[in-house]
Amino acid sequence: MKTVYTCFCTDVIHEGHLNIIREAQKLGEVTVGVLADEASVRYNRFPVISLEERISLVRGIPGVAHVVVQNDIMYHEVFEKLHPDYIVHGDNWSLPSMQAIRKNILQLIERYGGQLVEIPYTYSEQIQRIDRQITAKLAMPELRRGRLKKLLNMVPIVKTIEVHSGLTGLIAEKTVVANGEAIDQFDAMWISSLCDSTEKGKPDIELVDMTSRFRTIEDVMEVTTKPIIFDGDTGGLAEHFVYTVRSLERMGVSAVIIEDKKGLKKNSLFGTEVEQTQAGIEEFSEKIRMGKKAQLSDDFMIIARIESLILEKGMEDALNRARAFVDAGADGIMIHSRKKDPGEILTFCDRFRETDRTTPLVVVPSSFNSVTEDELASHGVNICIYANQLLRAAFPAMENAAKSILIHHRAQEIDSELMPIKQIITLIDEL
């Protein structure tokens, strides 16, 4: 009997999947690989049901002889362990990520033998409706909020990108790259106070009020499903912070990060060039305690951000604060630095992990941007936030276009550097 392998990365079995199994059965004994959580997150989308549930869903399909877990979206392990005679796959290879998978399968076939059988993909209204329903479900506040905590247990490091509008939200949501033999995308989004303020032409001094910041969150949420980490600046007065916590939870935000500064907050990347005051340990611990008390759901996170390295108060001060803020109930610690060298951040993480193995650690490698995600993860970092890159990419591109039009008294010269109008009007999905 010939052996047939196909991989499912789905939460719902529909007509299209049943058709694949029917066709696969004609070729031999069918083994279905269920894509593991981490691979699903990186390749496809966040699974709404657990791996165990996905396995039993597939087991229930008539014609499936064996079910295995496929740990990687690429097929090395499948070929090494199973040596299938046939790999059956839908012929929907149009995305670059899908093409990378097809290439991988063909290369492995050359090495191990076997044959790729491509089944015409089933397009039906019902299937499209199911797909849209899953996406809509993922965007709902209850499901979205808890996803950050789940991700922390699923992936080695939660890759988070700054967004400040619906459009940047779409970039965070939809950008997928096939990088060599890996497929990658961002896990979460950061609503930065710096970028939210700059986008409005305002300084990053807690001037843009919460109502306006919430409006940005809504714009992003309308068009995305990934979890959101909100930059809450200092959190404001503790008596106000408790209301912010409730509002963020209700909206479906997963975490707020508040920094241990008080008075007029300026952006941390100014460091000691401007006057900034760090809040006392007890004062800031009380704000955390009050926030945690106000919180209604179990899955929302309040993360304490420590500015001791930014304000040159030293490593011991940073570590003392981290321990105190965890004791006060903080669900995570963000440590910040504006040094080009990641040394002090990595030292902090190593020292913190000597006594605390579990509290999530967050870093923002804007200045120390040579450090890789793998390096950070190996020092115990759980969340890496790329805090301002999309805004910094857009500004020079826009300024360049404005200058070119002024210089040439027409728009022709800049046109080749701009996204075609046809593409921009189809960028946004219609319902």
Annotated active-site positions, please? Answer: 204
CB nearer ligand SPV, residue 108 or residue 364: 364
Torsion of CA 163, 164, 165, 171, to 10 degrees: -20
Question: Which partner, ligand SPV, Mg ion, none, binds residue 388 by CB below 5 to 8 Å per kind?
Answer: ligand SPV
Closest approach of ligand SPV to the CB of residue 388, in Å:
5
What residues line the site for ligand SPV (CB under 6 A)? Answer: 192-194, 231, 267-269, 364, 366, 387-388
Long-range contacts of 212-218 (CB under 8 A, 24+ apart): 214/247, 214/251, 216/164, 216/165, 216/191, 217/191, 217/248, 217/251, 217/253, 218/251
CB nearer ligand SPV, residue 274 or residue 424: 274
CB nearer ligand SPV, residue 275 or residue 354: 275
Specify the stretch interacting with Mg ion by CB under 5 A; choose among 27-35, 226-234, 305-313, 373-381.
226-234
Closest approach of ligand SPV to the CB of residue 154, in Å:
25
Question: Which partner, Mg ion, ligand SPV, none, binds residue 268 by CB below 5 to 8 Å per kind?
Answer: ligand SPV
307 is a contact residue toward Mg ion (CB under 5 A): no
CB nearer Mg ion, residue 97 or residue 193: 193
Specify the stretch interacting with Mg ion by CB under 5 A; choose among 186-194, 215-223, 235-243, 341-349.
186-194
Closest approach of ligand SPV to the CB of residue 303, in Å:
12
Closest approach of Mg ion to the CB of residue 412, in Å:
40
Q: Rounded distance, CA 267 to CA 104, Å?
A: 45
Question: Which partner, Mg ion, ligand SPV, none, binds residue 387 by CB below 5 to 8 Å per kind?
Answer: ligand SPV
367 is a contact residue toward Mg ion (CB under 5 A): no
Sign for the pseudo-dihedral over CA of 336, 245, 284, 203:
positive
Among 237, 281, 231, which Cα is nearest to 260's?
A: 281
Q: Rounded distance, CA 131 to CA 113, Å?
A: 34
231 is a contact residue toward Mg ion (CB under 5 A): yes
For the chain, the residue count is 431
Q: Rounded distance, CA 395 to CA 164, Å?
A: 13
CB nearer ligand SPV, residue 34 or residue 163: 163
CB nearer Mg ion, residue 185 or residue 197: 197
Q: Rounded distance, CA 342 to CA 271, Å?
A: 16
Q: Rounded distance, CA 387 to CA 374, Å?
A: 18
C-beta neighbour count of 294 within 10 angstroms: 16
216 is a contact residue toward Mg ion (CB under 5 A): no
Closest approach of Mg ion to the CB of residue 196, in Å:
8
Beta strands in 40-130 (DSSP E): 66-70, 86-90, 115-119
Phi, psi at residue 89, to the nearest 5°?
-150, 150
Closest approach of ligand SPV to the CB of residue 197, in Å:
8
72 is a contact residue toward Mg ion (CB under 5 A): no
- Which residue, judged by CB position, is nearest to Mg ion in the bound state? 193
Among 40, 97, 193, 295, binds Mg ion (CB under 5 A): 193
Closest approach of Mg ion to the CB of residue 109, in Å:
50
Specify the stretch interacting with Mg ion by CB under 5 A; choose among 19-27, 37-45, 187-195, 244-252.
187-195
Tokens standing for residue 48: 């709404």
Question: Which partner, Mg ion, ligand SPV, none, binds residue 364 by CB below 5 to 8 Å per kind?
Answer: ligand SPV
Q: Rounded distance, CA 175 to CA 158, Å?
A: 16
Q: Rounded distance, CA 233 to CA 206, Å?
A: 7
Q: Rounded distance, CA 101 to CA 361, Å?
A: 33
Q: Rounded distance, CA 307 to CA 169, Å?
A: 28
CB nearer ligand SPV, residue 117 or residue 194: 194
Interface residues toward Mg ion, by CB under 5 A: 193-194, 231
